[in-house]
Amino acid sequence: MKKIIVSIILLFVCSTGAMAQITLLKINDGISDVALKQRMEFTISNLLTEFGQATANNRPLQLHHIQMTEQSRASLERLWNSFHFDCDNAENEEHCLTDVNGYEIRNIPVTLHPTGNGYKGELEKELTISLTRDGMITGVHMALSNNVYQSIVNKGIDVTDTRRRLEILNFVEAFRSYYDEKDIASLRQVYSDDALIITGKVIMRRSYQNDQPTLKPEIVYSKKNKVQYLKSLESNFRHNRFIKVSFDSISVVRHPAKPNFYGVTLHQNWKSTNYEDDGYVFLLWEFKDDADEHPVVHVRTWQPDHIGTNTLAKKEIFNINDFFIP
């Protein structure tokens, strides 16, 4: 099918004499009508290719050959007056979502090229394309940011993996709420018996520059096992009447070789009656083969998000490769 689309688009591109890259979209699942699926792939691939050509030549969009409603065409042309954009990838694979009016293809990554100087927002965006049940485009929308729903339903990955990642978000959220509720019993169930807890702390180390003593901040780490960690947490719970933990910027990574293991990195804000801090948390989760068993956390790390006045570099943050999984 891809070859067919390539040849059809090549014909079109050659006939217009444009030199820009061809962009393809393949729908990997979510629709069973093969003919409709091919029609949608063809229409969207044509549209994405036109984005690239128009951006490369800094010209208005030419949409007469694209199967789309007048309203969506006018809306897209208005958007184009403010932004040009082209696809990041020459080949895109996305799920097809069924919605109230027809279908939606989400998560198509694009880079914005603002036509004026007024735009100060993110340049990396994702497109959502809506289609009728006959495969005609009814809307092309710029997703508001990378962290809303469109992140959720896929990036060319299968639905089962998507579902699992949503389950992880659910477990991570429940895990967060156990701290709010000061629920040691539930936390005891989440952490595996062999859990490793690593906590970073900023200290000032004396060093010499040009024979002058200076103090340089650095992080040193301490390790605890499950029993030690929960004991200190219990004490923390006792000394703070209220605790409010918030998670943000959550990222989920599946272990490349151990498919039941997922790494979750997030930014945590901890507020309590006597104390507040911000830092990065890494959690190593294991899904059990028995679907009725809840997943467990084998590793929890915490690092401050700043060392002195500098933000913690991404390469400093613990990741899934830091831990040996037998």
Among 2, 59, 113, 163, binds another protein (CB under 8 A): 163
SS3 assignment, position 238: helix
Tokens standing for residue 282:
């890494």
Query: Element (H or E) spanning 57, and its range?
Result: none
Min dist CB 155 to another protein, Å, is: 4
Nearest CB to another protein, comparing residues 59 and 306? 306
Among 71, 82, 111, 145, binds another protein (CB under 8 A): 145
* 164-183 binders of another protein (CB under 8 A): 165-167, 169-170, 173-174, 177-178, 180-181, 183
Q: Burial of 262 by CB count in 10 Å (0-12 exposed, 13-18 middle, 19+ buried)?
A: buried
DSSP state of 160: H
| Residue 123 is a binding residue for another protein (CB under 8 A) | no
Among 186, 207, 235, 311, binds another protein (CB under 8 A): 186
Taking the alpha carbons at both ends of the chain, their separation in whole angstroms is 42
Nearest CB to another protein, comparing residues 116 and 256? 256
CB neighbour list of residue 191: distance below 8 Å, 6 or more residues apart: 197, 226, 229, 230, 296, 297, 300
| Residue 288 is a binding residue for another protein (CB under 8 A) | no
Rounded to whole angstroms, how far apart are CA atoms 322 and 306? 21
Min dist CB 242 to another protein, Å, is: 4
Q: Which residues pair with 279 in a beta bridge?
A: 268, 304
Nearest CB to another protein, comparing residues 79 and 169? 169
Among 39, 73, 155, 182, binds another protein (CB under 8 A): 155
Binding mask 89-118 for another protein (x = CB under 8 A): ------x-xxxx------------------
Min dist CB 61 to another protein, Å, is: 26
How many other C-beta atoms are found inside a 10 Å radius of the C-beta of residue 22? Answer: 19
Min dist CB 58 to another protein, Å, is: 28
Min dist CB 126 to another protein, Å, is: 12
Q: Which residues pair with 125 in a beta bridge?
A: 110
Phi, psi (rounded to 5 degrees) for 108: -80, 110
**Residue closest to 125 by CA, chosen among 136, 139, 138, 141:** 141
| Binding-site size, another protein (CB under 8 A) | 77
* Spacing of C-alpha 229 from chain mean position: 30
* 29-68 binders of another protein (CB under 8 A): 29-30, 32
| Residue 146 is a binding residue for another protein (CB under 8 A) | yes
Min dist CB 35 to another protein, Å, is: 16
